[in-house]
Amino acid sequence: MDIPILFRDARFVVLDKPAGLPVHPGPRGGSSVEDAFARLSRRRDGPWLAHRLDADTAGCLVVALRRSALRAAQTAFASGAAEKTYWAVVAPAPEADSGHVAVALRKVSDRSGWRMCADTAGVPAITDWRVLGRGEGTAWLELHPRTGRTHQVRAHCAWLGCPVVGDAVYGEGGGPLQLLARAIRLPLDPPLAATAPVPPHMRAALVGCGWRTVSPAGTTAGT
């Protein structure tokens, strides 16, 4: 499996995970990010996923190549020191241009499956967001989750009343999920930093919100 690499050193690899690819094999089997591990390291132990992304979310995924690196990354994520940036196209657009969501989330299951719901008895979850562009009933958001709860960005967008376009769990579905783990930075020594390009399935929706594939300087905006 050939997954693009955004960053690599002796400690970590940051993969540009494609949308639709789960990080772990499911109960029915099938391809996953872990299929690529044999190409990332020849060590007898590892690699290990340092965190998770939803199967339908594209972008930066950190893989540790050494146990010491795994522990350092897990500490950064658990303490909130990891700097995570997401891009999302949402509909409808929020009225405000920026905001802060501090809404606890709890996992709820029923016959149709499971989802994260706002609940004061849940685990604390905090997300900062701002509008980068607006379209016809849509908006391009930059989101910075300060905690790492399952489905946090998706659930908080839905709580705002503007679910991520294509989200069949928290919105109306109807197409691919318009959510990108745009960038990641871990304040280690030396630091880890990577930025993912805009995937093809998000380009049209972002262009509709003002994103341009070519910047005034002549460089590609998604790289």
DSSP string, 74-115: HHHHHHT-SEEEEEEEESSPPSSSEEEEE--EEEEEETTEEE
How far, in Å, CA of 41 to CA of 19, rounded? 23
Residues 6 or more apart whose CB falls under 8 angstroms from that of 48 comprise 63, 64, 67, 70
pLDDT > 90 fraction of the chain, expressed in percent and rounded: 84
DSSP string, 191-210: -EEEEPPPPHHHHHHHHTTT
pLDDT band at 219 (very low <50, low <70, confident <90, very high): very low
pLDDT band at 164 (very low <50, low <70, confident <90, very high): very high
Tokens, residue 87:
């891009």
Catalogue all structural domains in the chain, each as residue range(s) with its CATH number.
Answer: 5-207 (3.30.2350.10)
Does the pLDDT of residue 218 top 70, yes or no?
no
Please write the tens of the pLDDT for every residue from 28-47. Answer: 778 999 999 988 987 778 89
What's 14's DSSP letter? E
Average pLDDT of the chain is 93
pLDDT band at 88 (very low <50, low <70, confident <90, very high): very high
pLDDT > 70 fraction of the chain, expressed in percent and rounded: 95
pLDDT value at position 1?
64
Find the radius of gyration of the CA atoms of the chain: 17
Instruction: Please state the pTM of the whole predicted model.
Output: 0.92
Tokens, residue 90:
């949402």
Which sequence positions are flagged as catalytic? 54
Does the pLDDT of residue 137 top 70, yes or no?
yes
